[in-house]
Amino acid sequence: MEKTDQINLLYISYYWPPSGGPGVQRGLKFCKYLPQAGVRPSVLTVDEKQASYPVLDHTFAGEVPEAIAVYRTATSEPFEYYKKLSGKKEIPYSGFANEDAKTGFLGKVFKFLRGNLFIPDARVGWNKHALKKAEALLQNDRFQAILTTSPPHSTQLIGLKLKEKYGLPWIADLRDPWTNIHYYDQLYHTPIAKRIDKNYELQVLERADAVIVTSEDTKRLFLNKPAKIDPNKIHVIPNGYDEDDFIYPSTPPEDEFLITYTGTITENYNIDVFLKVIAHLRSVNTDIRYKLRFVGKVSEGVKQRISKAGLEGLTEFVPHVPHTEAIKYLMESTMLLMAIADVPAVYSNVPGKLFEYLASNKPIVCLGPVHSDTDRIIDECGAGRLFHYTAYELMLDHMMLMSKAWTINSNLDLPYINHSQFSRRALTEKLAKVVKRLTVKAAKI
């Protein structure tokens, strides 16, 4: 498609390079491949010098196509006050992964304030700045559609306002559930705060022309809410992997059975059975040197559980690293560990890391809800096994077999995994079709 025929899309995202973490990758990869699919995105984001990014990854900046216009605005957020009052240098992670296992009184006060003074979230102070800039851009009449992506879900309120004022086709991309996110109850919402937040959520679901979610479970979750939603306007476009990121060869160690976990993990991610299995294997398979490696943010509660299982001596903790380096850690592993938060309504959660795990061709062992989307994807791709959080015997039998196979050949890489449908390029084609369909429909009105 010629550039003159491309659809101009205003892509509004709080997270953008140099932000790190999973939140930035979806939008970055969409914008990387959208021009090839006939859609030209322009990005509206926050000034990196004022942004509250928990982690940074400057390597992502090199992936932003030069032809994409990026507009940055100021913001007004409470995180500097939080750091001064709490004495902490870090910005809170989602799910409070960098909080102590047992939150003290002051920590509970901060969570209460976060949950009741800043609705839907503490980054809502960006909205007034983003709205002002978005309106200036839209007055030039150069955009045919708007996309807002969240978390932070406050970004969806920007789309809501712009929809009301300009009537352009609006796509709400919700990477995570909103009021059903696994740490929602940790925010100590008052009844009125919950009511306001749920009302915002329903307004977005009802008024957006299209809603993008990352799993079938999330789609069902939203359709079960008391909102007037056309099921046909909710589209499932999961997270994925970018072939360009996998530049490293597979080099599993020959002298140790190395199991790697990448990303953030908190106490909500119940890996107790896995730790018990590894402790048992270590005691019976004395000829095998097992090693666990966690790359990313690990909460103190998880570290305590590892220590309690007697595995502290064989566990390596690697702080957050650039995304390209995280991929390298995957390729240097024997197996990969994944876990889904053990909380109600978690069926909707398909971890973004799953798709890069698939692309690595490493066998996956996962703890999570059976019959969930994650379970289905792992099974359909033949990429490993998902076990319930209490399935000790089943996981032990499986890991015994994997250990025996390792003694014959230390390279357990899977010969073939059917994961091409999860490539970022293929997924972006799906998004482009949604954008084109909405703009064609709007042009006929």
- What is the structure's pLDDT at 80? 59
- What is the structure's pLDDT at 56? 92
- Domain co-membership, 154 together with 199: yes
- Domain co-membership, 377 together with 256: yes
Is 42 buried (19+), middle (13-18) or exposed (0-12) by CB count in 10 A? middle
**pTM for this model (two decimals):** 0.91
Top pLDDT among 303 and 188 is at 303
- Domain co-membership, 249 together with 328: yes
- Domain co-membership, 288 together with 366: yes
Would residue 51 be called left, alpha or beta, if left means φ above 0 and alpha means ψ between -120 and 50 degrees?
A: beta
Cα–Cα distance for residue pair 14/221, rounded to 1 Å: 24
Is 368 buried (19+), middle (13-18) or exposed (0-12) by CB count in 10 A? buried
Top pLDDT among 344 and 126 is at 126
Sheet hosting strand 257-262, strand order edge to edge:
315-318, 290-295, 257-262, 335-339, 364-367, 384-387
Cα–Cα distance for residue pair 171/31, rounded to 1 Å: 15
- What is the structure's pLDDT at 332? 98
pLDDT over 90 (residue 443):
no
421's CB contacts (< 8 A; 6+ apart) are none
- Domain co-membership, 220 together with 264: no
Cα–Cα distance for residue pair 118/193, rounded to 1 Å: 9
Top pLDDT among 167 and 91 is at 167
Cα–Cα distance for residue pair 54/47, rounded to 1 Å: 15
User: In this predicted model, what pLDDT tens digit does every residue of 284-330 receive, in sequence order?
Assistant: 999 999 999 999 999 999 999 999 999 999 999 999 999 999 999 99
pLDDT over 60 (residue 95):
no
Q: Is 139 helix (H, G, I), strand (E, B) or coil?
A: coil
Q: Which of 182, 46, 173, 186 is nearest to 108 (CA)?
A: 186
What amino acid is encoded at 237 in this protein? I
- Domain co-membership, 165 together with 67: yes
- How far are the Cα atoms of 169, 184, 285 from residue 346, in angstroms, in the given order? 31, 12, 34
Residue written as tokens 């795990």?
A: 357
User: In this predicted model, what pLDDT tens digit does every residue of 55-88 receive, in sequence order?
Assistant: 899 999 999 999 999 999 999 987 655 544 555 5
For residue 35, whether the previous peptide bond is cis, meaning omega lies within 30 degrees of 0, is: no
- What is the structure's pLDDT at 129? 98
Is 113 buried (19+), middle (13-18) or exposed (0-12) by CB count in 10 A? middle
Neighbours of 393 (CB within 10 A): 11
Q: Which residues of 59-88 are buried (b: 16+ CB within 10 A; e: fewer)?
A: ebeebeeeeeeebbbebebbbeebeeebee
Angle at 292 between CA 287 and CA 297, to 5 degrees: 175
What are phi and psi for residue 159, nearest 5 degrees? -60, -40
**CB-facing half-sphere around the CA of 96: CA atoms within 13 A:** 21
Neighbours of 19 (CB within 10 A): 25
Q: Which of 342, 337, 320, 313 is nearest to 399 (CA)?
A: 337
Q: What is the CATH number of the domain that holds 389?
A: 3.40.50.2000
- What is the structure's pLDDT at 231? 94
- Domain co-membership, 62 together with 91: yes
Would residue 338 be called left, alpha or beta, if left means φ above 0 and alpha means ψ between -120 and 50 degrees?
A: beta
- Domain co-membership, 323 together with 434: no
Q: With the CA atoms of 112, 118, 119 and 122 taken in that order, what torsion angle do they form, in degrees rounded to the nearest 10?
A: -100
- What is the structure's pLDDT at 23? 85
- Domain co-membership, 398 together with 439: no
- Domain co-membership, 217 together with 248: no
Please report the beta strands in 19-133, taking only residues with DSSP state E, as ranges in sequence order. 39-46, 70-73
What amino acid is encoded at 218 in this protein? T
Q: Is 39 helix (H, G, I), strand (E, B) or coil?
A: strand
- What is the structure's pLDDT at 116? 80
The DSSP bridge partners found for residue 318 are 295
Q: Which of 61, 56, 120 is nearest to 91 (CA)?
A: 56
User: In this predicted model, what pLDDT tens digit does every residue of 22-51 receive, in sequence order?
Assistant: 889 999 999 999 999 999 999 999 999 999
Mean residue pLDDT of the chain comes to 91
- Domain co-membership, 403 together with 270: yes
Helix runs in 184-271, H state only: 191-207, 216-223
In total, how many domains does the chain have?
A: 2
Structure tokens at 158: 């920007």
In terms of residue numbers, what domain contains 199?
Answer: 3-239+424-444
What amino acid is encoded at 79 in this protein? F
What are phi and psi for residue 439, nearest 5 degrees? -70, -35
The DSSP bridge partners found for residue 72 are 45
- Domain co-membership, 248 together with 175: no
pLDDT > 90 fraction of the chain, expressed in percent and rounded: 78
